[in-house]
Amino acid sequence: MRADSFAGQVVAVLSRRTPEFSALPDEPQTFPGRVHALRTRARVGTRADPGRTAPPPPAGRGTQPDPAASPLPSRETIVVGGGRQTRPPTGPAARGRVFVAAAAVLAAGVVIVLSSLGWLAGSDGEGVTTTSPPHGIGGVLVGHAGSVTSVAFSPDERTLACAGTDGTVRRWDVTDPLNPRPLGQPLASGVQPVTSVAFSPDGRTLAVTGTDGTARLWNVTDPTDARPLATITGHVGAVTSVMFSPDGRTLATAGADRTTRLWNVTDPRDPRPVGAPLVEVAAVSAAVFSPDGRTLATTAADGTVRLWDVTHPADPTRLGRLPAATDRTRAARPVAFGPGSRLLAAGDGRGVRLWDITEPARPRPLGRPLTDHTGAVTALALAGNILATGSDDRTIALWEIADPAAPSELGPPLTGHTGTVTTLALAGNILATGSDDRTVRRWDVG
């Protein structure tokens, strides 16, 4: 173990974008209290030989080992200061353990441990909190013969539904994240691709849309024995998106026919249209309810993102629209609401913008554009304070947005997919990602 004395603001000394976080300043800088950096070999999650990686979890039926899920050895830098760090570690909640040879340094004050993957641990002198960087878990879910178009978790987070262009919906029991199991037979829509899936808030109904112009409702009360309930028609052309309102009484479907339609699904065996279709000038790619159910955001192929008041579904009214994307790209922009219904994330070319929609008629941008991709943003998921973005550059970026005006990256982008990331879903600390590479991956993000 080697110790280097230095001073300076910790976040200015060690950057999460630096490959190994081993760079120290040549000249001392100012920092309250005495600061040292101790370099040592450490390991996340195990006391095994630092030169050996742990084997991946056993692959279950329908899964493949995921290299991203294997813990890796890393050289870590422990920063010890006499005062509190000026900026607490940000990132996922405690998940792993960090073992260091110099445990006695905890008595010296603040301890921050970093690795090439991000923040790992911090201490305020009274206790240690540990984190593990976002990482793949379990095996890669396979089985689709075409691109994965949509993924959705059930409300109890025990089931993951995955849809594909092969015309099937595959369901997985993910109660044990490390050992996913197929549930029943795939739901088939014939030869037409499936575009979107969504669970009802009570978890008893699964909505499935396709390019055949339908939305099909399935009873999934028994996850192993899904049964058809009803087939919704009305769109001309592909139905591109589906979502239940938070109270489960209304279903929104978006279509290539430039409309968004609302349906009363109080009785899922007898869905009925509600009000007139919401019309756009281009194909509608998605319709998303706010958490309070009062606002619907629709996004169209020309880049338009419009907000609607659907407090009374039979009489929806236009509220406002987001300004055009910064790069003027005329392409569909993925959207996701924040937990309080006043925050909206929207794709913006190769990045994402956060918007304050407290006054929907006048959306207000928050902070800077979030740019961590080299390709267009194709999918979003937002839960709690975590925003996930997927891109056609084949990566997923994670952002902590507790302060929407000053978001921070949660480590480097996640890699593993070999095609465009087409769909994302967040449930608690688990992120599911689907891709054109025909696979679904899962990640522990905190």
**Residue 51 pLDDT exceeds 90:** no
Hey, is 67 helix, strand or coil? helix
Q: What is the pLDDT of residue 411?
A: 83
Backbone torsions φ then ψ of 67, nearest 5 degrees:
-55, -30
pTM for the whole structure: 0.75
Q: pLDDT grade, residue 324 (50/70/90)?
A: confident
**Residue 265 pLDDT exceeds 80:** yes
Q: What is the pLDDT of residue 446?
A: 76
- Poorest-pLDDT segment among 36-40, 50-54, 406-410, 427-431: 50-54
Chain-centre distance for alpha carbon 335: 12
Mean pLDDT calculated for residue range 246-272: 98
Higher pLDDT, 1 or 329: 329
Across the chain, which distance is largest between two alpha carbons, in Å? 73
Separation of first and last alpha carbons in the chain: 30
**Residue 9 pLDDT exceeds 50:** no
**Residue 14 pLDDT exceeds 80:** no
**Residue 42 pLDDT exceeds 50:** no
Q: pLDDT averaged over the chain?
A: 77
Mean pLDDT calculated for residue range 195-216: 97
**Residue 36 pLDDT exceeds 70:** no
Higher pLDDT, 386 or 189: 386
Mean pLDDT calculated for residue range 104-120: 38
Q: What is the pLDDT of residue 207?
A: 98
For residue 49, the tally of other CB atoms under 10 A from its CB is 10
**Residue 50 pLDDT exceeds 80:** no
Q: Report domain 136-444's class.
A: mainly beta
Query: Do β-strands 63-64 and 2-5 pair in parallel, antiparallel, or remain unpaired?
Result: unpaired
Tell me the per-residue pLDDT of 128-162, one tens digit each, with 9 for 90 and over. Answer: 444 567 889 989 999 999 999 999 999 999 999 99
Tell me the per-residue pLDDT of 348-388, one tens digit each, with 9 for 90 and over. Answer: 889 999 999 999 999 999 999 998 899 999 999 999 999 99
Domain regions of the chain by residue span: 2-133, 136-444
Mean pLDDT calculated for residue range 74-79: 36
Mean pLDDT calculated for residue range 50-69: 42
**Residue 338 pLDDT exceeds 90:** yes
Q: Is residue 427 within 8 Å of 175, Cβ to Cβ?
A: no
**Residue 21 pLDDT exceeds 80:** no
> Where do the DSSP E strands lie in 31-188?
35-44, 63-64, 74-81, 98-99, 110-115, 118-123, 128-130, 135-136, 140-141, 148-153, 159-164, 168-173, 181-182, 187-188
**Residue 68 pLDDT exceeds 90:** no
For residue 111, the tally of other CB atoms under 10 A from its CB is 24
**Residue 313 pLDDT exceeds 60:** yes
Mean pLDDT calculated for residue range 232-241: 96
Q: pLDDT grade, residue 329 (50/70/90)?
A: low
Q: What angle do CA 169, 171, 176 make, to 5 degrees?
A: 160
Q: What is the pLDDT of residue 39?
A: 35
Q: pLDDT grade, residue 190 (50/70/90)?
A: low
Q: What is the pLDDT of residue 63?
A: 63
> Where do the DSSP E strands lie in 13-139?
35-44, 63-64, 74-81, 98-99, 110-115, 118-123, 128-130, 135-136
Distance of alpha carbon 257 from alpha carbon 261, whole angstroms? 11
Q: pLDDT grade, residue 343 (50/70/90)?
A: very high
Distance of alpha carbon 286 from alpha carbon 295, whole angstroms? 14
The structure tokens listed for 225 are 């024995």
